[in-house]
Structure 1
Amino acid sequence: MIELRPFESLGAANHGWLDAHHHFSFASYHDPDRVHWGRLRVWNDDTIAPRSGFPTHPHNDMEIITYVRKGAITHRDSLGNEGRTEAGDVQVMSAGTGIAHSEFNLEDEETTLFQIWILPDRRGEAPNWGARPFPKDARDGQFAILASGMAGDVGALPIRAEARVLGATLKAGESVTYATNAGRHAYLVPATGRVRVGDTEAKARDGVAITGLDIITVTALEDAELVLVDAA
């Protein structure tokens, strides 16, 4: 099954400093058909105004992955961690037994990002945070694993779920394949560009929900930047 979820169909809330679009039910947006996709619970497409952001707030028992598309986000948390994550890079927060954090755009330009929440396989563990830059050429024409709880995924930021977050960049006309299995749930969003998955075309910021396939093939109809989650 391949289901297109056009950007225009997503839940939305514009708070002035934050323009948020929700692929799944979140906050005041609720769609009983879009509560989760397997263990993928949240995919928010956020635009954060310059010099603004999310003040300190708590989380527990959730794997929270932030993929920055433009600009940068600065993280601070109750463990004493602080870091700035730039466009194309990733941060991961395993909320565990509880953590409070803030996320601010301290730049003079808008920051755009995807925030992805995955339900953990293990609960009640100590909270943790990590971030890292990933070589941009490592995802040229192929998927690079950015965050993972799967055995053998060396070099990825760790998460506490049997899931992967992957990124790829494709030139127009290029294709990339990803091997999964039919019982898993994949969710693909082109950050930029227009792509085809099977017979389904998706433009930038559309969601593509995929299950029942062993091989996913994505073809770029325009230069494209892809983010893919593969979850149980």
Structure 2
Amino acid sequence: MITPRPYASLAGSDAGWLKARLHFRFAGMGRPEYGAVGALHVWNDDEFAPDSGFPMHAHRNVEIITYVRRGAITHADSLGNQHRIEAGDVQVMSAGEGIVHSEHNRENEPTLLYQIWLHPRTAGGAPSWRTKRFPRPERSGRLAVLASGDATDQAEGALPLSADARLLAATLQAGERIEHRLSGRAYVVAVNGRLAVNATELAARDGAVIDGEQRLTLSAIDATEVLLMEVA
């Protein structure tokens, strides 16, 4: 079963400096029927205005993936990390027993990003932070694993997650198609162009819950980027 969550149907908020659309209901915000998919419980489509952002704030017991689509975001945290994360970069922060961090758009243009939250396998533990560049040309026509809780994926270059999940991405030209085998549930997003997932068409920025499908055919109707989160 493939159940679309069209971008136009997503609940949102506009704080002026931050515009957000929520693929999942979280903390009383979002559509009630858009519940979690396994460990995946937050997928926000965020736009930060220039010279804006979140000041230092705390998290615990959550895996946070930041995927920058356009522009850049500057991260700082209580572990002493400070880094400018550009489009094509992926950040993974394991909050563990507690971490404090900030996120700011220091650019002179809006920054577009996805922020994705997962429940960890176990609570507590030491917090950690990592980032890595995944150039889009290197994922052309194929799904590449960006972050994963699987040790084999990590050994092959994926950022480590303390969760039973893996985030994959591909860039496709119009007419290109990928076949992919699934072993559990998943959530897919067409980042910036129309995409057919088996027989279900998604517009740009639409998402879809995938449950009970063993094989996926991802067919690009337009040139697009695809993000796929697999969960146990």
* TM band (smaller chain): over 0.9
Name the counterpart of 1:50.
50
Name the counterpart of 2:150.
150
* Residue 25 of structure 2 is aligned to residue 25 of structure 1: yes
Name the counterpart of 2:90.
90
User: By how many angstroms is 1:28 displaced?
Assistant: 4.2
Residue 22 of structure 2 contacts residue 30 of structure 2 at CA under 8 Å; is this kept in 1? Answer: no
State the distance in 1 between where 2:216 and 2:180 align: 5
State the distance in 1 between where 2:123 and 2:73 align: 27
* Residue 224 of structure 2 is aligned to residue 224 of structure 1: yes
State the distance in 2 between where 1:177 and 1:81 align: 38
> Which amino acid is the alignment partner of residue 111 of structure 2?
T
State the distance in 2 between where 1:160 and 1:54 align: 24
* Counterparts of residues 53-202 of structure 1 (less than 5 Å): 53-153=53-153, 154-181=156-183, 184-202=184-202
TM-score by length of 2: 0.96
State the distance in 2 between where 1:203 and 1:88 align: 21
TM-score by length of 1: 0.96
Deviation readout 1:187-224 (Å, 9 max, x if unpaired)? 01111100101111001110111010111111000000
Deviation readout 1:81-132 (Å, 9 max, x if unpaired)? 1111111210000000000100000000000000000111122110000001
> Which amino acid is the alignment partner of residue 31 of structure 2?
D
State the distance in 2 between where 1:164 and 1:139 align: 16
Name the counterpart of 1:13.
13
State the distance in 1 between where 2:16 and 2:151 align: 42
> Which amino acid is the alignment partner of residue 78 of structure 2?
S
User: By how many angstroms is 1:69 displaced?
Assistant: 0.3
State the distance in 2 between where 1:135 and 1:199 align: 29
Aligned-partner SS, 1:187 = strand
Aligned-partner SS, 2:137 = helix
Deviation readout 1:167-195 (Å, 9 max, x if unpaired)? 100000000122212xx221011111001
State the distance in 1 between where 2:126 and 2:181 align: 32
State the distance in 1 between where 2:179 and 2:163 align: 23
Aligned-partner SS, 2:88 = coil
State the distance in 2 between where 1:137 and 1:208 align: 25
Q: How many residues align?
A: 230
Aligned-partner SS, 2:108 = coil
Note closer, same or farther for the CA distance 1:117–1:20 as it changes in structure 2 (3 Å cut): same
Residue 46 of structure 2 contacts residue 113 of structure 2 at CA under 8 Å; is this kept in 1? Answer: yes
> Which amino acid is the alignment partner of residue 57 of structure 1?
H
State the distance in 1 between where 2:28 and 2:48 align: 19
Aligned-partner SS, 1:41 = strand
State the distance in 2 between where 1:212 and 1:54 align: 38
Q: Where in structure 1 are there 5+ consecutive unaligned residues? A: none
Aligned-partner SS, 1:192 = coil
